[in-house]
Structure 1
Amino acid sequence: MTAPISQTLIDAANAYEALFVPALFRQWAPVVADAAKIGSGDRVLDIACGTGVLAREAATRSGQSGRVAALDPNAGMLTVARSLAPGIDWRDGAAEALPFPDRSFDVVVCQFGLMFFSDRDKAIREMLRVMVPGGRGAVAVWDAIENAPAFATLVDLLDKVAGKRAGDALRAPFVLGDRQALAALFKDAGADPINITSRGGAARFPDMREFVEAELRGWLPVMGVVLPEPQIDRLLAEAERVLARYVTHDGLSFAISAHLATWRRP
């Protein structure tokens, strides 16, 4: 019998879909789909799909003659994803052990998940395993944190107020920002030749406080860092000052860029 899914996980996934998808992730789905050249009839796998913004883009492009499967280890994310697009084959699973036969997919994509895999080499080898010969892969990772200035500013603030462990939790999404190291990771796993390109984007949050609270109360606990309320209050007050340059008439906006790794399986 399947255990019930925690309402806390579902609430967190709904908050992710409502805030982070429009603020950060939605703009990248067509970029990754273009890079992977997803077209009508393609069989597509989206790894670390979250609430499914990229999988939904892939389903639109592959059409009724295609097939889209999407994988994530977070039951709350998958619950929300299924409610938004029941026609996609949503799977619970890890990138390092894909629950699919060899040569199952024409296209494999992953949007901002590779940074968090426990064994990145094994995950890339699994991507290659499930791709058909000539199959296409496209993976997006964030550029170095220096190229996401608002995040860099918030990390500096965390280092000073809450300590390096808190700052490192927010650095984690940007750990694959070095293009040469990223290319070497794929080549060592057998994805060769690999093409790495960079693309600029923008993050747009409704307001500064919502952005900072989402990181402090949402992201940091996921990374095992729970801050005391007085410290959160101090960080929010300080953030008003250090992030003021990114506040616009309709919220908080700042530049952010990503790297795209693309390849074909021989």
Structure 2
Amino acid sequence: MPEAYDRHLVPVFFRPFAADLAARAAALRPRTVLELAAGTGALTSALLTAAPTASVVASDLNEAMVAAGSALEPRASWQQADAQDLPFEDGRFDLVVCQFGVMFFPDRPAAYAQVRRVLAPRGRFLFNSWGPLATHGFAAAFQDALEETLPGRAPAFLGDVPHGYTDPALVASDLAAAGLTLGSADEVTLDGVAASAGSVATGFLTGTPVGATLEAWDDAQSIRASVTQKMTDRLGTGPVTAAMTATVYTAHDQE
């Protein structure tokens, strides 16, 4: 999964927003940074380029992602870590960042409380989350193709999880429950450019839990072929571009 994720999804979905988030992070002039849910290091690399004097610890729950990320971006210190039980001392970091990871935390207030604990006084928490599924051109096209191929039994993962945490009021409430105050919530829309619709389909089908779900089905191969073709029919052949919307949040301690 990490290889497919890094090859097909990272350049299209994550690098454009990594550049945006890294520029915001650099403007805060942090000395010590903790990245949560770092994946294979798209934001990590952007952070180290935008803030070259900062010390960056990149963490992820998935050991395979940590192994892949540390090989791709050795300038950071990599560590396997659960966001809900961070293995770092109190007040260690000026900045905690997380790109498209908070949606996956089973208990977000618990994770946010850990963020608050490891933040230094006047530290900041900077993170983003995807907007509704309909605001992501690639994900919406993929889900439509999936539902056409599998009427009534298409996995709902994309809408429920990556695109299931879209209300700034809920984010503010979860932060407040952890003792953090929402400072800003900025909606950002950027274009993703892919070599082909088929490449994006492959990324979804092999680099996300959707693929793991389908793999257990007897007709997995024909499903993948149908979804790829339907997605190509929607977006066209050759290089394809689609708009993607996310919200960028900043938070700080209530004290």
* TM-score normalized with structure 2 length: 0.88
CA drift of 1:197 comes to 1.0
- What percent of counterpart residues are identical? 27
Distance (whole Å) between structure 1 residues aligned to residue 215 and residue 121 of structure 2: 46
Equivalent residue for 1:84? 72
Distance (whole Å) between structure 2 residues aligned to residue 188 and residue 163 of structure 1: 39
Greater Cα offset, 85-94 or 96-105: 85-94
CA drift of 1:127 comes to 0.8
Equivalent residue for 2:146? 158
Which of 25, 30, 53 is the matching residue for 2:19?
Answer: 30
Distance (whole Å) between structure 1 residues aligned to residue 222 and residue 240 of structure 2: 19
Stretches of structure 2 that go unaligned for 5 or more consecutive residues are none
Which of 167, 180, 205 is the matching residue for 2:155?
Answer: 167
Contact 1:100 1:130 in 2 (8 A): yes
User: Structure 1 residue 185 and structure 2 residue 207: aligned?
Assistant: no
Which of 32, 41, 45 is the matching residue for 1:43?
Answer: 32
Which of 238, 241, 246 is the matching residue for 1:258?
Answer: 246
The number of residue pairs the alignment matches comes to: 253
Equivalent residue for 2:236? 247
CA drift of 1:234 comes to 4.5
Distance 1:184 1:237, change over 3 A: same
User: Structure 1 residue 98 and structure 2 residue 86: aligned?
Assistant: yes
User: Structure 1 residue 73 and structure 2 residue 61: aligned?
Assistant: yes
Contact 1:156 1:167 in 2 (8 A): no
Q: Output the amino acid matched with 2:140.
A: A
Equivalent residue for 1:58? 47
Contact 1:183 1:196 in 2 (8 A): no
Distance (whole Å) between structure 2 residues aligned to residue 254 and residue 229 of structure 1: 32
Distance 1:227 1:209, change over 3 A: farther
Distance 1:209 1:188, change over 3 A: same
Which of 108, 128, 131 is the matching residue for 1:120?
Answer: 108
Q: How far does the alpha carbon of each residue in 1:25-54 deviate from its partner, in whole angstroms, 9 at most, with x for none?
A: 011112112333456561001000011121
Relative contact order (alpha carbons < 8 A, sep ≥ 6): 1 or 2 greater?
2
Contact 1:69 1:89 in 2 (8 A): yes
Distance 1:154 1:14, change over 3 A: closer
Distance (whole Å) between structure 2 residues aligned to residue 223 and residue 110 of structure 1: 24
Structure 1 segment 233-244 matched on structure 2, within 5 A? 233-234=222-223, 236-237=225-226, 240-241=229-230, 243-244=232-233
Equivalent residue for 1:5? none
Distance 1:180 1:68, change over 3 A: same
CA drift of 1:139 comes to 0.7
Q: RMSD of the alignment, in Å?
A: 2.4
Q: Output the amino acid matched with 1:35.
A: R
Equivalent residue for 1:202? 191
Equivalent residue for 1:4? none
* TM-score normalized with structure 1 length: 0.84
Q: Secondary structure at the match of 2:170?
A: helix
